[in-house]
Structure 1
Amino acid sequence: MSDRLLTAIAVGDFLPGERLPAERELTGLLRVSRPTVREAVARLQAVGVVEIRRGRNGGTYVRDSWTESTAAAVRHTLVPRWEEFEQLFDLRGLVEGMVAATAARRRGSKDLDPMKDALSAYLSASTPRDAHTADSAFHQAVRTATGNPQIVMLSQDLLARISLGFPVEPWGRGEQTHFHQGGEDHKALYEAIAAGEPERAEEIARGHFTISADLIRDVLERVRAR
């Protein structure tokens, strides 16, 4: 469990300064008991990856995305399942392309407002954390525009599977290059969906989701090089 959390932080599911889900939410997301969650969080605190804050905005916050304990955790979590991850990356590209194309075909005028708002929030984000939040909102708006709850759940399930159980996009270390590429992709995808161009939307989405796959590959290469 602690290895899984360390790996999730390493691939950027949660960035430095972000708060982890509450204990109760973690038990549901990861399907483990509360004592297991407490033990895992305590280990992360002991190695300096997270800190516990008290008070009104209290909770468990990420301090550092990489420590001496991280490499071993990533190897233990990713290496045995790497073939499965590559299959998931391929499947996700196909599915997210379909999601974007369907949104372009079916979207109503009201579906565009949440996308536009999330796009504006992303482009004006002053921190990686703000961009991370806006990114999630944008893709949720695209899913919703398909008008099919089953498509929404399929997309969310694939996201959780590549994100080690968490409903958030891997974000690496919040690098500016990925931020800018994501912004360009979001803008192009919004324009394609707004214009009702499903083929173009599909192509953009399939390319866009290679960013997450490449970020996870980079983390694996980082530990293999050690």
Structure 2
Amino acid sequence: MSTKGLTGAPRQVIFGPVRDGGRVDVVARRISRAIGLGLITDGEQLPSESVLAESLKVSTVTLREALSSLRDQGLLETRRGRGGGSFVRTPLEPSAARMRGLLGELCPHELREIGDHHVAVSGAAAKLAAERAGAEQCAALGKLVGHLATARTIGERRRADARFHVGIAAAAQSHRLTRDEITLQGEVGELLWLPVYGQDPDLVSAVEQHSGILVAIEGGDGELARARAEAHVDLGITRLINVRRRLG
């Protein structure tokens, strides 16, 4: 098995040539981000080292060091023998303390900058998805809405949320938008589900907003899809900025 759940633009972004000279940390971050966002899921097998190194355009030595780092982080396990290889392990549930620490490293202005970028990317992706997505892609997005609705933990919700947004960018048939969406989800996606004073973000509202975006995409209404996606992302980042200000 070789990342069977990952197809199209997300796969090409994650396993495409690495920039920045193919450094070990860049390769490790690329794969760890995909695992953290649920784009490569628990138990999935990565391509063989030779195939993956060729796909990423890095040396086998660099790849092995990156995979070793991911094993040390508990994100991969190696199985020997027939049918062996590198298999993904779902990350542990993030602690609220760790998430607050990550949020504390970003000032409100930085969050607003990230939010502005995310609004632009998500809005453009939703508009193009409404114009380009076929029935199969819309059905896949519908399943992702369902995954969010039934997600119980912060980690499950974060991954379902991220996969929906990345799925929209993929449905837009744009590698650049898909790459940007994956990067943005890696920067703040986890923080968007940070509980505040014991209360989790409103799951029901998030599901309703995802459903509204999907309805607009299915209906081929690009402007409505854009407006709903932009409003959804802006609500999330505004909440995050307010949480950051409370933390001082």
Q: Give the TM-score normalised by structure 1.
A: 0.62
Aligned to 2:11: none
Aligned to 1:178: 202
Alignment of 1:121-200 (within 5 A): 121-160=147-186, 162-163=187-188, 168=190, 170-173=192-195, 175-200=199-224
Aligned to 1:61: 92
Q: In structure 2, what is the Cα distance between the partners aligned to 1:59 and 1:196?
A: 35
Aligned to 1:78: 106
Q: In structure 2, what is the Cα distance between the partners aligned to 1:170 and 1:114?
A: 23
Q: Check 1:25–1:114 CA distance in 2 against 1; reply closer, same or farther (3 A cut).
A: farther
Q: In structure 2, what is the Cα distance between the partners aligned to 1:110 and 1:147?
A: 13
Q: Check 1:209–1:60 CA distance in 2 against 1; reply closer, same or farther (3 A cut).
A: closer
Q: In structure 2, what is the Cα distance between the partners aligned to 1:142 and 1:59?
A: 23
Instruction: Give the Å deviation of 1:116.
Output: 1.0
Amino acid at match of 2:179: M
Q: Check 1:25–1:195 CA distance in 2 against 1; reply closer, same or farther (3 A cut).
A: farther
Equivalences, count: 174
Q: In structure 2, what is the Cα distance between the partners aligned to 1:59 and 1:155?
A: 21
Instruction: Give the Å deviation of 1:59.
Output: 8.4
Question: Is the aligned partner of 1:201 residue 2:232?
Answer: no
Q: In structure 2, what is the Cα distance between the partners aligned to 1:85 and 1:182?
A: 20
Unaligned runs of 5+ in 1: 1-23, 42-56
Aligned to 1:105: 131
SS in structure 1 opposite 2:92?
Answer: strand
Aligned to 1:28: 28
Q: In structure 1, what is the Cα distance between the partners aligned to 2:93 and 2:26?
A: 15
Instruction: Give the Å deviation of 1:137.
Output: 2.2
Question: Is the aligned partner of 1:220 residue 2:244?
Answer: yes
Q: In structure 1, what is the Cα distance between the partners aligned to 2:224 and 2:230?
A: 10
Q: In structure 2, what is the Cα distance between the partners aligned to 1:121 and 1:170?
A: 17
Q: In structure 1, what is the Cα distance between the partners aligned to 2:150 and 2:125?
A: 26
Poorly superposed stretches of 4+, deviation over 6 Å: 24-27, 57-60
Instruction: Give the Å deviation of 1:195.
Output: 0.5
SS in structure 1 opposite 2:176?
Answer: helix
Unaligned runs of 5+ in 2: 1-23, 31-64, 74-87
Q: In structure 1, what is the Cα distance between the partners aligned to 2:176 and 2:183?
A: 10
> Which has the bigger relative contact order, CA under 8 A and spacing at least 6?
1
Q: Check 1:99–1:29 CA distance in 2 against 1; reply closer, same or farther (3 A cut).
A: same
SS in structure 2 opposite 1:113?
Answer: helix
Instruction: Give the Å deviation of 1:219.
Output: 3.2
Q: Check 1:126–1:26 CA distance in 2 against 1; reply closer, same or farther (3 A cut).
A: farther
Q: Check 1:26–1:173 CA distance in 2 against 1; reply closer, same or farther (3 A cut).
A: farther
Q: State the percentage of identical aligned residues.
A: 18
Instruction: Give the Å deviation of 1:130.
Output: 2.9
